[in-house]
Amino acid sequence: MKEFSTLLTETQDNLLIIYINREDKLNALNKTVIAELNEVVDLFIADDSLRGAILTGKGNKAFVAGADISEFKGLSQQEGVALARRGHDVFNKIEQSPKPIIAAVNGFALGGGCELAMACHLRIASENAKFGQPEVKLGLIPGYGGTQRLVQLIGKGKALELLLTADTIDATEANKLGLANQVVQTVELLETSKSILRKIATQAPVAVAKVIECVHAHFTDGIDGFNTEIETFGECVATEDFVEGTTAFLEKRKANFKGK
């Protein structure tokens, strides 16, 4: 994996760990981080040796404490639209990755940080994690998908409450609402995330990708999620992984999936 200016990466077996490396800025998102996230996700998806990724922040205080507000000053309306669209494009790419990406939320996940975590497939939170969308305090709204994904994850009523009050919630409340999948001790955060990805990596890669595709179809305008499921079920039946999986089941042995 190449070197980045705002990200650190490491690979362990078939997993990629991505650290947002702006600890002195509480890992705040700026244009460079967004651009490098876009690039690293492309590299991750293209690398057949990698089966899953973990996205986290450097240090123990923050996953991502928000956007770098200094970049917002003096924006025109047109520039604001372009900034939001760029964030949407990158976060959509994360969400639509055919391989799972887990947000290991270590500390603050506010504003763009909460939006980034929600774009990932799963969110594992440390016990000190804090989630929130405080943009209305700045005369803004979430610009990277927050008004949409928060509703999907926790429902309209509670999402509106958090978006309108700018309140933050702790990891326990996030877990109760469905925003966080699990809450663990900080020292266990990365290992828990790796354990989940290792379990997913034992499944058929094509089937994993198709599950992600079908779930997202439910939330995509103009797409019938039920029909998507029917079609992708048929596509799975035509794969070598399906033959291997069913054969291994009948032979009472562990399947050896090839992702084909």
Task: Give the residue numbers marked as catalytic.
Answer: 115, 135
Q: Each residue of 160-191: b (16+ CB within 10 Å) or e?
A: eebbeeeebbbbebbbebebbbebbeeeebbe
Reduced to 3 states (helix: H, G, I; strand: E, B; else coil), residue 9 is: strand
DSSP characters for 199-238? HHHTS-HHHHHHHHHHHHHHTSTT--HHHHHHHHHHHHHT
8 - beta bridge partners?
19
Looking at the chain, the number of H-run helices and the number of E-run strands are: 10, 10
- Report the amino acid identity of residue 142: P
Please count the other Cβ atoms lying within 10 Å of the Cβ belonging to residue 132. 21
Query: How many residues in the chain?
Result: 260
